[in-house]
Each structure stands twice: as structure tokens, then as C-alpha cells.
Amino acid sequence: MENKEQHKEQLRVDKVVSKIDKKIISTKDEFDRAHTETKKVQQTYSDNTSVNYFEVDDRIETSAELQQQRGLVSRLTENESILKTQLSTLHDLKKSPYFGRIDIQDDGQPDDETLYIGIASFENADGEFLVYDWRAPISSIYYNGTLGQVAYDTPMGEQKTTLKKKRQFQIVNGQIRNMFDTNETVGDEMLQSALGAQNDDYMQNIVATIQHEQNDIIRDTKSNLLVVQGVAGSGKTSAILQRIAFLLYHSRDTLEADQIILFSPNKLFSHYISEVLPSLGERNMRQVTFDEFIDNRLKGLNVQSLFERYETDDALTPQQKLIRGFKESAKFMDNVKDYCNHLSASQIFFSDIIFNEAVFFSKEEIRSIFDGFPKAITVSDRFFKTKNELIKRLKKRINHETGKDWVNDEIDQLSNEKYHDLLAGHALGEFQNEDDERFFIAKKIVTDRLEVVYDAIFNNNFLDPYLQYANFLKTVDLPQNIDQKKWQQATSEFNDAIEFHSIKLDDCAPLLYMRDYICSSGQNNTMKYLFVDEMQDYSVAQLKYLRYAFPQTKWTLLGDSEQALFKDVEQPKEILNKLNAAFNVRHSRLISLKRSYRSTYPITTFAKSILPNGDDIEAFNRDGDLPELIVLPNFDNAIKRLEKIVPKQRSTYGTVAILTKNMEEAKQVYDRIHSKLDATLLKDADRTLPKGVLVLPIYLAKGLEFDSVIAWDTSENNYPDETLLGTLYTIITRAMHHLTLLSIGDVTPLISDQSLTTSRVKIERTIKR
Ligand SMILES: Nc1ncnc2c1ncn2[C@@H]1O[C@H](COP(=O)(O)OP(=O)(O)OP(=O)(O)O)[C@@H](O)[C@H]1O
């Protein structure tokens, strides 16, 4: 019976595949034609650009023609790239046209309707859907519904229907490998096989096996602030990528991929996830790490990165920690805003605008302009008006300067070619008289010369944000637990660092907020969605600055409070309350993901056991080896052992990652093993993740996963107390199939005796306790 059913389904697959084949041929033809045409136009374009011009008129005419051709080329290229994407989707569909089938019956309808669901929709020539896109409203039934009455959202409102059958397929190269009917969201068997596969260089899309609660994240269109608190390996990153694909489909007329920005934890991660959206036929969103974002906004300063800060964290005194906590709080950002709102003209640190080593606009002049605007309007508005006034005055100065001798001399020395260049689009003889033409040219010369002044005004360089911030630090009310003297010392450290063009990370968000708030600048109003992965590594102050910088965005924040590397663990509710208070948004929602998919059952069970609230984590039932704990007496022994374990692991797995607490440890290990084991040491600047043996500090492995993980030196010495629990937990949960813990000396107290029960870990001790 089952075979008969499978045979029937295979016949349908064959039919659909042959239709896809035909479509591939016709699309390929269309693509070839488009390609030939683009090439032809490009050729004409490049022939034209190499013409020699003698007459200005010729040049103007040709330039209009070139503009037209450039537009044509870009339209043709876009068309060509659409066809290319279609072709690649069709090739993917051909291999696996769909993964799901639902049979539904609408009220009052005599017959069932059968729909097949795949990574993209596919219609036959009559417009009948042979495959429905997984993002279509009706497809949500496949992910959410159990058999019986079900509802799904459509643009016209909620629709009801009866789900009679749900069938899952695994189709490889056009052949059904596996199929079964289920009442579950997506049955465990399919998941088993998806998760059992070895790690690829790139993250895979999970559309065939999206789980119910992940589907809630993916299809949420109502929340302005969606916070996802998910345990390690619960599919947070996967869910956001599918969510982005969903949003692009859902709002395809109004949303472009580059109106979505994702803040990712490191550069390796950016690379790791870069194939998911293209595999779903969508363009990638913008991706940036917080460090890159800040660097870009504080050009000229050497900004301390999160990782640099982490590497030196051990040396912090309790007071320094309190100071950092204060600077990273919502309260501190509110203080910044309050300070800015109450600034008088005399309290603003204006700077001179310098040109050719002389003062062009003095700070006194600038201050008096600012002071001239009514005090009833906001500081930002007064600053903005000051900027406009400076531009007006600059224009006046340009006009005034045009009559000067140096300008006349320069005009007289212009070559014909240069003269025509300066006319820029104006034909010779177009002006009333020669004086007008000369005035035009003179103005151009002066404007070009004074462009630096214009840029300085435009970029608000007439405010000194560093002095302003230092002044704020002096005046801000301190919480009781912060010592005044220690605060003053921190302020002098800030000033000293600025002298050397560098700044600590904790000062960046408040300083940028202050600068941009006063200058009413730094806001991107085109971005519509903002995603933050690993949100537990961001301070509220940083998130508040992002909120300021992207005011029109809906937010999705994802994280796992247990994986806090850079600060202490916080409870999800605490985080949400903080965010709600800091952002003051309507429609916020918290979704928790408790089931962990990445690691085998034994690894997740072990990982759970080291957390105080570990019982909340649900391990996905996938078989595998027990984690191994090997206790060794010293570094040399540990290295020798590593040299044995790694080749053994490599004979089974594509990637073996040796994860350390910090870069210093990673370097030590790498230096000793790389010649023997052909290992790669990964650094902050690396963007690609090779296969083989990798050595890296855990902060570079955030969000990533490896077939086999070796946790380096999990000893009491190296992980003495619970401030490092997040670090250890993150290391352990990077392992998909195999986990080894190497401990130099007695094992960390973070792994309790209970966790070490033999049912959970295979233990080998070469030293006595
Ligand atoms: N529904 C699913 N179907 C198939 N695979 C899934 C599913 N959900 C998650 N996975 C897999 O589980 C692994 C972990 O997913 P992901 O990296 O998205 O989790 P995460 O919550 O972001 O993890 P972490 O916080 O630990 O970095 C990935 O290999 C992903 O492909």
C-alpha cells in the first residue's frame, strides 16, 4: 500500500520535474538573449567612451547619450540578474521540487484540495500552482497546524479550513527518498536526518523542517519589538534568516533587502550565514558587526573592539566594573540626552573651522550665531540652524572671493581643456557676456577650493564632541556606589586616550549619542528592519544608540542570556523589562525557544547539567557519543594528548575545532600544534571559515557550530568561578556530534560532580583528585 502511494507520488514528482525542465530551457533562452543584448549595449557604451572630443558641443551631446546608455545597461543587467536567480531557483526546484503536502477542505466544498509546498512557487502554463512557496499564507498550515480545523492569516484576514492530511517528503535529485504522513508540526524523522548531517561550510536553510515556535518568529508581522530568548542551538539564527526571507516575500512591493540590517557577532559568522538567503532566491540583507558600525562612525579614532576589551577584562577592579556598568546603562544615556537638552551657547564646545592653517570661522563667531537663535527651540534645532547660517556665510564669502586677484590669475592660466571642464554642462557662449562667464568660472574655482570648509560644516566639525563628552562626564550625577575619585580617574583616562586618538568601547555609544543628538545627525531613516543576533553581548546603552540611529525600524533581538561572554548572565524577563523601559515601544513580544537542535542528546544533556536552570532546556533526541573529559597533569601532556585526539576526530569529521577562552590561549595551543596537525588559527579579521583543524577563542566562534569540539583546558585554574559559566557553556554548545573536554589539572567547579556522573560523561583521569 505504502509503496503504491509512493509510486503515485513519484509519478507526480516526475511530471513536475519534466515541467521544470521545460521552464529551465525557456528561461535559459531568455537569459542568453538578455546576456547577448547587454553585451552589445556595453560594447557600444565602451566604444563611445573612448572617442576623442574636440568640440565642447560634441562632448555634451555624447555625454547625454552615454547617460542614456548607462541607464539601459543597468536595466538590462538587472533583468539578466533576475533571470539568473530564476534559473538557479529552477535548478534547485528540479532537484527537490517540494518537501510538503497538505490536503485541505474548505467549508461547503465537496472535495479536498491538495497543495504541495517547496522553496519557491512553480506554476504550469495555465497558471495552476504545482508548487506553493513556503512563505505563501496557505503554507503556514503546514508548519502550524495539526489535523482538523485550522486557521491561517491572509491579506484579507483570517481564513479557516480543515486540514485532512499532512505529508512530508525528502526528495533528492528528483527521487523520493522518504515520505510519511504526520500529525506533528514537522516530524522528528525529517529533523533527525537534517541534523545528523555533518557540518557544511555554510549554514543551511531549514524551510523543510521549521518548527511551530520557530514559525511564530518567522511569520510575525505585528511586533515592533520581537525578543527571542532561545537556548543554544535552538535555531534563533536560522529563524531570523528565514524570517528575513519571509518578510521580503510578504512585503515584496515595499521592502528591499538593503532596508534590513543585521548586527552579527563576528565576521566569520557573516560569512557562515551568507548562503541561506540566496538559497531561497533572495538577496542578502546588510550585515555589520557592532565594532565595524562604531568604527565607521568614529573615523580617525582607534576604537577598542569588544574582543580587545574581553582580552583585558580580567584586570578590571570592582570599581572599574561599576563604572562600566553605569556607562552602559539606560540611565546614563538618559543623562546624556538631558545634558544635551539643557546646554546653553556658552556650554557648547565649538571648534574653529580652519582653512589653509588659518581660522575661517572662529568658534566665537559660531557661538554667537547659535546664541542668536531663540532659546525656546531645541538645542538640536539651534545647532541645525547654525549650520545653515554657516553655509550661507560660506556662500557669501565665496562670492566675495571671486573678484580676488589670485582667482583671476588662476583663470588666466587655465588650459582650454580645464576651462571647458569647469563649464560643466554649459556651452560656450551661453552666458550674456564674457564677465558672466568669467564670474561663473571664478565661482567654480573658489567653491572647489573651499570645499573643505563646506565639508567641515556639513560634517559638523565645528563641534568638539570629545571636549563636550568630557565635560558631561565631569557634571553627571553619579550613583552612590561609584567613588568620585575613581570616576575622575576614569575621566582623565578618557581624555588621555583621546589625545592618542583612541577610545574605550564603553564610551562610544554615549559619546556618539551626544554628538549626533546635538548635531541632529547620524540617523538612517531608510532602514525598515533591524536584527541583533547575540543581543546578550550588547549593553542597553548600545541598543539605545542603535534605536536612535535607525529610528524607523522594527526590531528583532535574539539571544541566549546563558551565553553571555562579556558580562554576567541575566534572566530573559530582566532583559525584556530593561528593553521595554529603554525603548518605550508598543507591541513588544517575547518568544522563548527551549528545544536545542544542534548537538546530540548526550552533548545537550551534559551542557544542560552545568546550568542552574538547565532543566528548562529540552534536548533533541539524536544519538551520539558521550562527551569525554580527559584530565591531564600539565600543558605538555595536554598538547601530546591533543595530537592524538585530533587526527582521530579528523578521520570521522570534516571540522575539529579547538576552542579556547581567549586569544592568548589559542595562540599558545596553535604554536605548539600547527606544524604537526596542519591547524588554522582564526583571528578577529578573518572572514572565511576553512575546514580541517581550527584553533580559535570562543568569542570568534559565537553563533557557529563544528562537527567535533575540543574544549581547551577546562580546569579549575582556567575556569575558577561562575563569571566564566557563559563562556564554558558557549564552548560546549558549539559541538554538533562530538565533544572532548581537556583539563590541565583538576576540573572546573562549574562542572559539578553531578554533571560528571558516568552516565553523562566518559572520564579519563591521569592524575589523582
Ligand atoms: N527546524 C530546524 N530544522 C533543521 N535544522 C534546524 C532547525 N532549527 C535549528 N536547526 C539547526 O540547528 C543548528 C542550530 O541552529 P542555530 O545556529 O540557528 O541556533 P541558535 O539558536 O542561533 O544557536 P546559538 O545561540 O547556540 O548560536 C543549526 O545547524 C540549524 O541548522
**Tell me: the pLDDT tens digits for 440-450?**
888 888 888 88
Q: Which atom of ligand 1 is nearest to the CA of 194?
A: 4
The pLDDT value given to residue 127: 87
Among 209, 212, 597, the mutation site with the greatest number of ligand 1 atoms within 8 A of its Cβ is 597
CATH of domain 615-765: 3.40.50.300
DSSP letter, residue 414: -
Q: State yes or no: 231 annotated in a binding site.
A: yes
Alpha-carbon gap, residue 363 to 320, rounded angstroms? 36
Q: Is 211 touching ligand 1 by the criterion CB < 6 Å?
A: yes
Q: Is the CB of 236 under 6 A from ligand 1?
A: yes
Kindly state the cell numbers that stand for 364: 566665537
Q: Is 564 in the pocket of ligand 1 (CB under 6 A)?
A: no
pLDDT at position 60 is 47
Q: Ligand 1 pocket: which of 144, 193, 206 to mutate (most atoms <8 Å of CB)?
A: 206
**Separation between Cα atoms, residue 232 and residue 734, nearest integer Å:** 8
Annotated binding residue at 274? no
Q: How many secondary structure helices (H) and strands (E) does the chain include?
A: 27, 26
Mutate which of 143, 238, 244, 264 for ligand 1? The one with the most ligand atoms within 8 Å of its CB, which is 238
What is the amino acid identity at position 463?
L
- pLDDT tens readout for residues 23-36: 999 999 988 888 88
pLDDT of residue 49: 52
Ligand 1 and 237: CB distance under 6 A: yes
Question: What is the whole-number distance in angstroms between the Cα of residue 597 and the centre of ligand 1?
Answer: 6
What is the ipTM metric for this complex?
A: 0.99
Residue 595 — very low, low, confident or very high, per pLDDT cuts 50/70/90?
A: very high
Question: Please, which pLDDT band fits residue 572 given cuts at 50, 70 and 90?
Answer: low
Check the annotation: does 733 bind a ligand.
no
Residue 559 dihedral angles phi and psi, to the nearest 5°: -175, 180
Cβ(265) – ligand 1 distance below 6 Å: no
Atom 1 (ligand 1) nearest CA: 210
Distance 260 CA to ligand 1 centre (A): 21
233 is in an annotated binding site: yes
| H or E element at residue 143 | helix 140-144
CATH class in words for 196-303+526-596 = alpha beta
- Determine if ligand 1 sits within 6 Å of the CB of residue 234: yes
Residues 654-677 as b/e (b if ≥16 CB within 10 A, e otherwise) read ebbbbbbbbbebbebbbebbeeeb
CA of 529 to the centre of ligand 1 (A): 22
Spatial separation of the C-alpha atoms in residues 289 and 292, rounded to whole Å: 5
User: Residue 188: pLDDT above 90?
Assistant: no
**So where are the chain's domains?**
1-95, 100-186, 196-303+526-596, 353-459, 615-765
Q: Please name which of 572, 606, 573 lies closest in space to residue 732, comparing C-alpha atoms.
A: 606
pTM of the model: 0.87
Task: State the greatest distance between any 2 C-alpha atoms of the chain, in Å, as a whole number.
Answer: 100
In CATH terms, are 196-303+526-596 and 615-765 the same topology? yes
Categorize the per-residue pLDDT at 346 as very low, low, confident or very high, splitting at 50, 70 and 90. very high
* 427: confidence class by pLDDT, cuts 50, 70, 90: low
CA 596 to ligand 1 center in whole angstroms: 8
Ligand 1 contacts CB of residue 210 (under 6 A): yes
Question: Was 230 annotated as part of a binding site?
Answer: yes
Element (H, E) at 368: helix 363-372
Secondary structure (3-state) at 654: coil
Q: How confident is the model at residue 566 (pLDDT cuts 50, 70, 90)?
A: low
Which cell numbers hold the place of 369?
Answer: 550665531
Task: Please give the number of the atom of ligand 1 that sits closest to the Cα of 733.
Answer: 26
Q: Is the pLDDT score of 576 beyond 80?
A: no
CA–centroid distance, 729 to ligand 1, in Å, is 16
Please check if 325 is assigned to a binding site: no
- Rounded to whole angstroms, how far apart are CA atoms 267 and 289? 7
Average pLDDT over residues 551-556: 94
**For residue range 53-92, what is the model confidence (pLDDT) as tens digits?**
444 444 445 556 666 667 777 777 778 888 888 898 999 9
Going from the Cα of 233 to the center of ligand 1, the distance in angstroms, rounded, reads 5
Distance, CA of 305 to CA of 311 (rounded, Å): 10
Instruction: Find the distance separating the first CA and the last CA of the chain, reported in whole Å.
Output: 62
